[in-house]
């Protein structure tokens, strides 16, 4: 009621009739508004009393107060708000808190802030990239043996490269008593060796880095694909896109070339220092402090550049998130004429991203000036020491040649030092991206699926027998049509004292839930928003693990099943039907387990045969992305056909599957449920009570507990039952319709 004052126009409904239509100011002066406001205040006070009493008792909190995170990316709302359960529609009511709350309670609430956050903050490392990150990355590259082999290879290739100019110096000084022909062939041999080993070094390095990048990506993909619902609930999509796009691109494209250039600079500067010191030891007096100054400049520049790059990585995630939201909600943005608002927000976030680029460029200019000065000092010292040595001592011709060699190599000092510092900083910055990738390989909470490793290994072993094994991805081949046809085994389900919370630190959402569902029973789950209805479905599939009690599926403990085996028992028909870009056949039979005749039979059972037969290609006709060429009801029916064709499934789970369709299609779907799914155990989260009026059993959820359970007729005949109150709240006409459906169901059952 607190938003009524902001409305331009108010329409109030009661008993299926319009009781008021007019401005918000006029409505707020009516007795109807006064009664509604009083009822809301009373409900809020009752909720507050319930919450405070429960906190004084066991401290577990209320299911509604805990908030049930939306499966599609939401999470628990901060307590003490009562939020909608996944898939539940409705409003969010907020309970009041005691004004005289103790300091200890406030401290406890502060300590639980992280647990009640909708989204976790993105991790951002500080300081230098630890050596453990480099070691972990080297393990992906091939381990210690390969690393030592690469160091030896770079040392040998650099020695051969320096030997080219060294041989010219020896030839010029006639250091050995050899003919020009021997010197010439020696130079040709060294040059040809350089021409061979340098490209070989490049090729080996890029091959190693390519395989390493593929291994890291495979490990990260494996880790994320096995992540728990908690991870996906609290991690924005843009953050994951940033890791799998920009950070993977850094590891695949930028890091190999930058690391190669850094190693080239390291060995280039090293070879230059060896030659200069070997020919002019006195330069150590200047080179030692210069090396220290260069190191300090490198540390200072790296610390600034590293934080700039880390900040750049983090600030790009909100930009990716906004891009995804704009693409998903483009129709809504256009309808409400908010394109300019979204564009302004995008430009603001883009400005933050580009500000990091400006800082990075400025830091590069700062580095360039100081390295130029340092390089000039090195070159000048080499020249002065060489000239002084030549003048003050009796030197030979070959000495002059070696001094000339050291001068020639020192002229590249500026280029090498600038490259060394810049590439070292760039390497550490890119390793920040690798650090972010490695974080996802080990820190993502995982579902318990040990059997999957064995199945993947077995498929990889049979790669020559039809499976497609490409590196880290193994695709299971589809079996021949109809090869695994099995009779439907209707399932039984037993809950015994089940307790569940969405993650550690949050209050319980299900509290001591117990019930039994027999094979082939049709069970409806009803309740108010936030009562825990949709949470039950998550526990069936072990999307969230229970923290107390036990669940048995077909007489077997749910923990004894592998996750894939368990989820194979259930067919899910969600409120928002999911179709993929492809053919009708691939959408209803994604694993190609059914024959064409079975596909047509399933379409006929759900009433879609005529619609699909009207297409020229029949079951091979195109389904656009999201099923946009089918209505919502038709997409729902196609999901039902998919459930019929799923082999080994004994349960049908429907999460308010008829909430968004018209009554005619709703009746068609209910007819399908009672006929086509007669051999299945059906569990439906009901949005419309008439949906479950003819079911065998009703479970009424309230604040995370089973308030009552029984047949619809039993519950509605009890004047004090919650279910009867829900039926009466529908109004005279709708409640009469529900009663009529129950009566028809009872008479048909009696005749059987």
pLDDT in tens, 267-292: 887 877 777 777 777 777 777 888 88
Nearest to 666 by CA among 707, 636, 693, 644: 636
Strand partners, 500: 510
Q: What is the pLDDT of residue 86?
A: 37
**pLDDT tens for residues 348-375?**
988 988 888 888 888 888 888 888 888 7
Predicted local distance difference test score (pLDDT) of residue 111 = 44
Q: Which helix (H) or strand (E) holds 525?
A: strand 522-527
- Ordered alpha helix ranges (H), 478-608: 533-540, 563-568, 584-588, 596-605
Segment 647-669 mean pLDDT? 73
Mean of pLDDT values over 683-701 = 87
pLDDT band at 706; cut points 50, 70, 90: very high
Residue 553 tokens read as: 């599926």
548-553 and 493-500 strand pairing: antiparallel
pLDDT band at residue 123, thresholds of 50, 70 and 90?
low
Residue 49's pLDDT band, with cuts at 50, 70 and 90, is low
Which residues make Cβ contacts (< 8 Å) with residue 123, sequence separation at least 6? 439
Q: What percent of the chain clears pLDDT 90, i.e. is strictly above it?
A: 10
pLDDT (tens digit, 9 = 90+) per residue, 376-425?
887 788 778 777 776 766 665 556 666 676 676 666 666 777 777 778 87
Task: Determine phi and psi for 595, rounding to 5 degrees.
Answer: -80, 170
76 or 181, higher pLDDT: 181
Closest listed residue to residue 165, CA positions, set 407, 523, 527: 407
> Given this model, what pLDDT does residue 373 score?
84
111-125, 240-254, 352-366, range with the lowest pLDDT: 111-125
To the nearest whole number, what is the mean pLDDT of the chain?
77
Residue with tokens 């280039």: 268
User: pLDDT tens-digit profile of 517-535?
Assistant: 999 999 999 988 888 888 8
Looking at residue 283, the DSSP 8-state letter turns out to be G
- What is the reported pLDDT for 607? 83
What does the pLDDT read at residue 124?
Answer: 61
Separation CA 378–CA 398 (nearest Å): 23
For 19-38, the pLDDT digits (tens) are 889 888 888 888 888 888 88
Q: CA–CA separation, 271 vs 276, rounded Å?
A: 9
Tokens at residue 320, please? 């990716």
pLDDT tens digits along 549-564: 999 999 899 988 888 8
Question: Residue ranges of the alpha helices (H) in 112-179?
Answer: 131-141, 143-173
pLDDT digits (tens, 9 = 90+) for 437-451: 999 998 888 887 776
Helices marked H in 444-503: 450-461
CA-CA distances (angstroms) from residue 169 to 156, 273, 407, 469? 20, 17, 12, 55
Is the predicted pLDDT of residue 194 greater than 60, yes or no? yes
> What does residue 78 show for φ and ψ, rounded to 5 degrees?
-60, 130
Measured N-to-C along each axis, helices 413-442 and 255-279 cross at an angle, to the nearest 10 degrees, of 140
What are residue 175's phi and psi, to 5 degrees?
A: -65, -35
> Which pLDDT does position 266 carry in this prediction?
84
Tokens 């439907």 belong to 488
Token pair for 191: 């040059």
User: In this predicted structure, what is the pLDDT of residue 511?
Assistant: 92
CB-facing half-sphere around the CA of 541: CA atoms within 13 A: 19
Determine the average pLDDT of the residues in 335-353.
90
pLDDT over 80 (residue 714): yes
Task: Tell me: pLDDT of 495 over 90.
Answer: yes
Report pLDDT for 179. Answer: 80
* Residues 653-667, mean pLDDT to the nearest whole number: 69
Burial class (CB in 10 A: 0-12, 13-18, 19+), 598: middle
What interhelical angle do 143-173 and 255-279 show, nearest 10?
A: 40
């Amino acid at each position: 009621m607190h938003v009524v004052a902001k409305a331009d126009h108010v329409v109030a409904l009661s008993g299926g009739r319009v009781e008021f239509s007019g401005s918000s100011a006029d409505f707020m002066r009516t007795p109807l508004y006064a009664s509604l406001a009083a009822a809301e205040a009373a409900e809020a006070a009752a909720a507050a009393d319930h919450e405070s009493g429960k906190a004084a008792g066991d401290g577990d909190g209320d299911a509604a107060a805990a908030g049930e995170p939306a499966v599609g990316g939401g999470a628990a709302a901060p307590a003490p708000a009562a939020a909608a359960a996944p898939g539940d529609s409705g409003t969010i009511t907020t309970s009041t808190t005691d004004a005289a709350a103790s300091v200890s309670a406030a401290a406890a609430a502060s300590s639980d802030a992280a647990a009640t956050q909708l989204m976790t903050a993105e991790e951002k490392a500080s300081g230098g990239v630890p050596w453990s990150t480099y070691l972990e990355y080297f393990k992906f590259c091939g381990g210690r043996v390969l690393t030592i082999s690469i160091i030896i290879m770079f040392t040998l290739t650099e020695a051969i490269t320096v030997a080219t100019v060294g041989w010219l110096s020896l030839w010029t000084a006639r250091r050995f008593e050899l003919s020009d022909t021997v010197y010439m062939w020696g130079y040709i041999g060294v040059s040809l060796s350089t021409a061979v080993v340098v490209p070989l070094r490049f090729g080996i390095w890029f091959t190693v880095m390519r395989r390493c990048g593929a291994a890291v990506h495979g490990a990260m993909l494996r880790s994320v694909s096995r992540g728990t619902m908690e991870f996906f609930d609290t991690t924005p999509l843009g953050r994951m896109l940033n890791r799998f796009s920009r950070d993977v691109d850094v590891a695949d494209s930028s890091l190999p070339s930058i690391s190669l250039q850094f190693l080239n600079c390291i060995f280039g500067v090293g070879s230059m220092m060896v030659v200069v010191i070997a020919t002019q030891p006195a330069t150590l007096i200047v080179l030692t402090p210069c090396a220290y100054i260069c190191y300090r400049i490198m540390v200072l520049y790296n610390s600034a550049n590293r934080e700039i790059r880390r900040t750049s990585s983090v600030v790009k995630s909100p930009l990716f998130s906004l891009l995804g939201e704009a693409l998903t909600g483009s129709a809504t943005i256009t309808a409400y004429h908010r394109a300019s608002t979204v564009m302004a927000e995008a430009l603001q976030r883009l400005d933050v991203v580009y500000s990091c680029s400006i800082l990075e460029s400025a830091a590069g200019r700062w580095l360039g000036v100081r390295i130029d000065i340092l390089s000039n000092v090195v070159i000048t010292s080499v020249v002065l020491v060489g000239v002084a040595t030549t003048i003050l001592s009796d030197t030979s011709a070959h000495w002059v040649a070696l001094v000339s060699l050291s001068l020639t190599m020192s002229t590249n000092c500026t280029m090498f030092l600038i490259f060394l510092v810049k590439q070292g900083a760039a390497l550490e910055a890119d390793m920040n991206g690798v650090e972010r990738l490695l974080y996802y390989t080990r820190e993502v909470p995982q579902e318990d699926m040990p059997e999957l490793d064995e199945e993947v290994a077995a498929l990889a072993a049979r790669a020559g027998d039809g499976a497609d094994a490409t590196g880290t991805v193994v695709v299971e081949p589809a079996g021949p049509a109809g090869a695994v046809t099995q009779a439907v085994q209707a399932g039984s389900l037993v809950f015994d004292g089940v307790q569940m919370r969405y993650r550690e630190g949050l209050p319980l959402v299900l509290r001591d839930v117990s019930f039994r569902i027999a094979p082939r029973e049709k069970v409806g789950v009803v309740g108010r928003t936030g009562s825990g209805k949709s949470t039950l479905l998550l526990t069936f599939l072990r999307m969230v693990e229970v923290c107390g009690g036990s669940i048995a599926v077909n007489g077997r403990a749910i923990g004894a099943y592998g996750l894939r085996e368990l989820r194979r028992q259930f067919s899910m028909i969600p409120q928002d039907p999911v179709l993929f870009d492809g053919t009708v056949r691939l959408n209803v039979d994604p694993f190609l387990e059914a024959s064409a005749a079975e596909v047509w039979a399933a379409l006929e059972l759900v009433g879609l045969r005529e619609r699909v037969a009207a297409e020229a290609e029949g079951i091979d006709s195109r389904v656009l992305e999201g099923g946009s060429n089918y209505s919502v009801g038709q997409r729902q029916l196609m999901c039902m056909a998919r459930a019929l064709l799923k082999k080994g499934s004994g349960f049908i789970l429907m999460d308010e599957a008829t909430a968004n369709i018209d009554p005619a299609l709703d009746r068609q779907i209910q007819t399908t449920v009672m006929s086509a799914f007669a051999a299945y155990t059906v569990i439906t989260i009901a949005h419309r009570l008439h949906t479950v009026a003819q079911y065998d059993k009703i479970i009424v959820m309230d604040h995370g507990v089973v308030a009552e359970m029984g047949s619809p007729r039993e519950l509605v005949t009890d004047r004090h039952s919650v279910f009867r109150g829900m039926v009466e709240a529908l109004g005279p006409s709708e409640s009469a319709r529900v009663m009529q459906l129950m009566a028809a169901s009872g008479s048909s059952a009696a005749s059987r």
